Structure 1
Amino acid sequence: MGQAQGQPARSARCIALVGPYLSGKTTLLESILARTGVINRQGATAAKNTVGDASDEARHHGMSVELNAATVEFLGDSFTFLDCPGSIEFQADSANVLAACDAVVVVCEPDEKKVPALQLILKQLEDRGIPHFLFLNKIDKAETRVRDIVPMLQPASTVPLVLRQVPIWESGIVTGFIDLALERAHVYREHAASEVIDMPKTLADREQEARFSMLEKLADYDDALMEQLLEDVPPPRDLVFDDLSKELREGVICPVLLGSAENGNGILRLLKALRHEAPFVGATAERLGVEDASSCAFVMKTFHTAHGGKLSLARVLAGKFADGDTVYAGDTEERIGGVFSLLGHEPVKREAAMAGDTVAFGRLEGIKTGETLSSEKGASFAVEPGEIADPVYGLAIEAKEKKDDVKLTAALAKIIEEDPSLSITHNQDMGEMVLWGQGEMHLRVALERLTRKYGIAAATHPRQIPYKETIRKSTEVRGRHKKQSGGHGQFGDVVVTIGPLSRGEGFAFSEKITGGVAARTYIPSVEIGVRDYLHAGPLGFPVVDVAVCLIDGSYHSVDSSDMAFRQAGRIAMTEGMPQCQPVLLEPIMAVEIAVPSEATARINSIVSSHRGQILGFDARPGWPGWDVVQANIPEAEIQTLIVELRSATAGVGTFHAKLDHLAELVGKAADQVLAHHGAKAA
């Protein structure tokens, strides 16, 4: 069985475990740890005793909410497995992990409903050229024949899914499998290595049929194999394994293996496939464009631990890194404060990290997830970090106790450093801080972590919508400010016209003063006073699309001043604006919704229920079986859009929104906004 040319004497590889929500990734990691002797007994997610998903948040919700890492030894090789969350709300953790992995195991159930979620994952791997296997988990619970399952899952992949095994069924139960490359039959032993048996005569035809199908797909990329098949010459076993390895690494096939992680079935065969066929770090560095680097490591994830401080999980792509070494990332210089292996989130001190190792570096305070470390200052190469999805759900957040305001900001900065798909915006107009993320559960977990790790209780509420107001009519009005209080008084007198502008024109100020009716030196002060008023009009919201023209006025040679004319300008606006038929404006967002095609009709209904207007839809470029729906939706209606969207699409739908225009809001909806605003102001 061929291994990669240039294989290092000590082979350390990095393998990501990804897959749709609840497909069994954490259970697979647990089974691998048990099979390789890292743990004595396999735990279970239901029992809340697994190495992965050890955080309070993961166990409380019964799902992976962040990356878990574990390193094992198998037949002399070192493998670090990175268990990535399956929920789309937490998949940002895998974005940077995937960049520096040698190969990926995509864990999937034999369930047609998971095809869209599977496609999301496979598309990402295919676009980035990352070799990947498909581990068909829970095969013991499959209700569909494998010969039908693979064609059912094929639409999720643009490369052929190549079945490597077929199950052995007895009385409706999967009792083992036939390895199509080795042409051997195995019987499962629960939580133990499978046992080789004689090929069942009843399955001989099925094995030959499935093996020929596998070889046909391999032969599409190997002329010598194709010639042997055409001439009915049995290909050498070594050639078959070489082709499986070569075509996996080139990304032209996706091998499919079977098993049951819960029962420990199929684990040994998966490990052997990874050992013989997954690329080594040299090939990964070449894929990432890291060439001729004396040392290079890519930071895949940041952890803030209670006792060990900050840990930066990194893949060493070239060279060597040791405790105390100085490293550089751009203009940032840091010194490594310890090198650790991780078992879940538990750091274990270790020796220097060599090319291929996946380790945690301690106390790199200025280094962020997605950055490339080098031992050379000013290194010209950098691994391209993973792409983080735009946030789709936001809540205004504040500390429940005023004394925690500063602590809240610092704690949120650490949480965002751990999870870059979270972000904070400060809305000055609304006077609030908004925490953004990938969905309702995403923010809920972040808030729970805020309390558990940093002891800060935060209050959240729906974020305020930046309504504006404008006018429909014009008017002419005088604003006079006169005050006498001994000594110099205050006098400013202006006449202005106020009128509407076209939508989107903002604000315009002009003057048509003739003669000496108002000293020209005071005109800028009048404009300042007018602008002062625009922060809150008659309805209580910022004023836009208004033109003001100064046409007349008078001044006093002693009592007039800049402040007096500023006040006069403000008075004119205060008295004139209510006469101009003020109207509320709401922000309308241009929304692009991406969903599987079978859900498009439901999305149209959801958009309509959110006062949205469908502009059209089309096939999503490069995504077979997906549509993109274009719509205009009021920003006030987008707050919960993602929740309904995910519900209607088995968790895979998403959207991108940007401000398009402001539109008049009238009737009951406007009355509700004004009533709420008035109550809040009171």
Structure 2
Amino acid sequence: MRCFTVLGPSQTGKSTLVEKLGALEGAPKKSVSPYGLNLTEFTFGKETWCALDTPGGNEAVAHAQDALMASDACILCVSPVPEEAVLAAPYLRVIEASGTPCIVFVNRIDEPRGRIRDVIASLQGYCSHSLVLRQIPIREGDKIVGTCDLISERAWRYREGQTSALIAIPESEREREHEARAELLEHLSEFDDWLLEELIEDREPPSDAVFAISSRVLRENKIIPVLLGAASHSNGMLRLMKALRHEAPPVDALRKRLAASNSTPENALAAVGFHAYHRQNIGKTVLVRALKEGLKQGALLGGGRLGPVQDPGTGRPTASGTAAPGDVFSTVKSDHLPVPSLLTVDAAMAAPEWTTPPTPMLERILVPESERDETKLSETLAKLVETDRGLKVAQEEGTGAQLVSVQGPVHLRDLCKTLAEVFHVNVTDRMPSPVYRETISKPADVHYRHRKQTGGAGQFADVKLSVHPNGRGEGFSFGETVKGGAVPRNYIPAVEAGSREAMERGPLGLPVIDVGVMLTDGQHHSVDSSEFAFRAAAKMGVRQALSEASAVLMQPVFRIEIHIPSVYSGNLVPIVSAFKGQVLGFDRDDNTKGWDVFRAMIPGSSLDELGRALRSATQGIGSFSKTFDHFEELYGKEADAIVTAQAAHAH
């Protein structure tokens, strides 16, 4: 079996493209994952093919990355509108990072929306590989009615619902065809000395030789050829499928590429686990592509026994019960197989670094509708994290509630749907509680005596404490200047412990940071003093001092890195400023052509709004990662409102 991924922005016709390719020589078999990944098996040219149709939208980029791990090649489906080329930028980034041979297919060319050369030029701004036209459009007025192949120099006229008709190259297109063919040959000659010599000597190379060079160059991932068509009318489908058949590399090349990605011996790689999902009453289903012989139920794979080898579409055991190299199959009762992963007989190894999904930008608390589902929710989320690396799960500070970090609102909706339909856990979501702290703005001295007499031994401890602000980020500190044994040495650790306890909740009802406590004097009683008494005295004394030391609200500030196509960088300065952030600057992204890395500081309370604004300003393409940097003072009406809300919540 040969396997390819179809990926690209939403609304570019990916699913229609796969449907038409699958129907070229018969009835395709389709299966669907709850995460939107569709598998279509079909026959073409006496070979079995598997097309992995990945969901569009940047929240699903992680699934496209994982599919590329199992693919010999990929088709990037793009819009014919030059201004929409930026929407393909995240996919070009992923394709180039993965090293997957790629064909760009400009779809929907029946809609006259711009010049093809402008589409290619716009895409080239986000691609380090040369994008090379293999066809040019034949136009009649504003309408594209066919294409001219630049290698065979044959022209084809589209026919609705039928294969295209061979025609002579129209006179109106001959000059453009010669010009475009010369560009194609020039690009190919960069990777072939013979062709370079032919061009220098002004000799016309034969078409079959150029086809062979083009095939080799794609297999070696040197350039990205560009083909044209309109999948909804079946235009260009046969040419695209022939290109895949003759030019996409075999499964051996995939095994070599994956082995090189983590320095694994090539002959040790047995399979790749690239997708998984949970089904009601069945459990975890893993999609696997075999890379060598011998995979069948009970065989060792990934350090455990492989479950049944099943047809991904029907879930029934395959006819042979064995997967040949290149075959894609599903399996259950193989929970030991992580996804995505590279699998040898003895171990499941981490997927290549390029499969790391974008950092989740949206955080929400999931609240089960039934209290009895609280434990079940925690266990279920742990399972879902295993099958969706774009999902992160933690516990909210203070409440212990389930905090999920997701790629965006669509990802959140799909997560809640899976919880309800597969695991019968209905949830609502809410914003996480903001994380604030408090400190003091001036020193305060306190003398506190703890005395209790309740029959038998009493409690006595007397402490004099000086409480003062520390520098930002210095945290809590404790010291003592006691002389003459006023407080015995063995009680001083108890004073420190009590002081620390007082920091758990200050006058504003929040944890206290960046405060120092100094024990300056005190008294003890030979019978009634104890560690407990001195601990209680210190705790109450420090609390009293904090209330006298002018409490100040502190808000968290995060350092953020925003990854965006360069065309959007100018939009970010007003966005960051609107959220009371500080712009630190931006640089070109050294690893990705056409992208910038924009850095800023922004208050934690603005992160959710930043995610929304960023999605809106960049058509969903921009993403950011955050790192806590420091706490800073917050004053005014905003601070007053937060303190009031905190007090209400405490009661």
Name the TM tier (shorter chain). Answer: over 0.9
Contact 2:133 2:227 in 1 (8 A): yes
SS at match of 2:233: coil
**Could you tell me which residue of structure 2 aligns to residue 337 of structure 1?**
307
**Could you tell me which residue of structure 1 aligns to residue 253 of structure 2?**
283
**Could you tell me which residue of structure 1 aligns to residue 57 of structure 2?**
87
CA RMSD of aligned residues (A): 2.2
Inter-partner Cα distance in structure 1 for 2:204 and 2:311? 45
Inter-partner Cα distance in structure 1 for 2:234 and 2:348? 45
Q: 1:381 to 1:631 in 2, by over 3 A?
A: closer
**Could you tell me which residue of structure 2 aligns to residue 47 of structure 1?**
none
**Could you tell me which residue of structure 2 aligns to residue 186 of structure 1?**
156
**1:430 Cα deviation after fit:** 4.7
**1:207 Cα deviation after fit:** 3.1
**Could you tell me which residue of structure 2 aligns to residue 577 of structure 1?**
546
Aligned sequence identity (%): 37
**Could you tell me which residue of structure 2 aligns to residue 154 of structure 1?**
124
1:529 to 495, 498, 523: 498
**1:608 Cα deviation after fit:** 0.5
SS at match of 1:664: strand
Contact 1:496 1:548 in 2 (8 A): yes
TM-score, length basis structure 2: 0.94
**Could you tell me which residue of structure 1 aligns to residue 479 of structure 2?**
510
1:326 aligns with 2:300: yes
**Could you tell me which residue of structure 1 aligns to residue 146 of structure 2?**
176
SS at match of 2:289: strand
Q: 1:109 to 1:348 in 2, by over 3 A?
A: farther
1:226 aligns with 2:215: no
Residue type matched to 1:209 in 2?
E
1:77 aligns with 2:51: no
**Could you tell me which residue of structure 2 aligns to residue 349 of structure 1?**
317
**Please, which runs of 5 or more residues in structure 2 have no aligned partner?**
none
1:138 aligns with 2:108: yes
**Could you tell me which residue of structure 1 aligns to residue 605 of structure 2?**
636
Q: 1:285 to 1:572 in 2, by over 3 A?
A: same
**Could you tell me which residue of structure 1 aligns to residue 535 of structure 2?**
566
TM-score, length basis structure 1: 0.90
Moved over 4 A (4+): 51-55, 378-385
1:22 aligns with 2:16: no
**Could you tell me which residue of structure 1 aligns to residue 385 of structure 2?**
416
**1:68 Cα deviation after fit:** 1.9
Inter-partner Cα distance in structure 2 for 1:139 and 1:380? 43
**Could you tell me which residue of structure 2 aligns to residue 599 of structure 1?**
568
**1:427 Cα deviation after fit:** 3.2
Residue type matched to 1:303 in 2?
Y
**Could you tell me which residue of structure 1 aligns to residue 219 of structure 2?**
249
SS at match of 2:355: coil
Alignment of 1:60-459 (within 5 A): 66-289=36-259, 291-293=265-267, 296-328=270-302, 333-343=303-313, 346-350=314-318, 351=320, 352-375=322-345, 377=346, 386-459=355-428
Contact 1:26 1:52 in 2 (8 A): no
**Most deviating of 19-28 and 551-560:** 551-560
Residue type matched to 1:675 in 2?
T
SS at match of 1:633: strand
1:538 to 498, 507, 512: 507
Q: Deviations over 1:7-36 (max 9, x none)?
A: xxxxx2221111122222122122222224
**Most deviating of 228-237 and 14-23:** 228-237
**1:571 Cα deviation after fit:** 1.0
**Please, which runs of 5 or more residues in structure 1 have no aligned partner?**
1-11, 41-50, 56-64
Contact 2:301 2:347 in 1 (8 A): no
Inter-partner Cα distance in structure 2 for 1:388 and 1:490? 59
Inter-partner Cα distance in structure 1 for 2:316 and 2:115? 44
1:484 to 430, 434, 453: 453
Q: Deviations over 1:22-64 (max 9, x none)?
A: 2221221222222242349xxxxxxxxxx57675xxxxxxxxx
Contact 2:107 2:228 in 1 (8 A): yes
Q: Deviations over 1:188-221 (max 9, x none)?
A: 3334433334444443444333323322221222
Inter-partner Cα distance in structure 2 for 1:410 and 1:382? 24
Contact 1:478 1:494 in 2 (8 A): yes
Number of equivalences: 645
Inter-partner Cα distance in structure 1 for 2:169 and 2:584? 60
Contact 2:342 2:349 in 1 (8 A): no
**Most deviating of 493-502 and 163-172:** 163-172
SS at match of 1:638: helix
**1:630 Cα deviation after fit:** 1.9
**1:641 Cα deviation after fit:** 0.9
Contact 1:298 1:383 in 2 (8 A): no
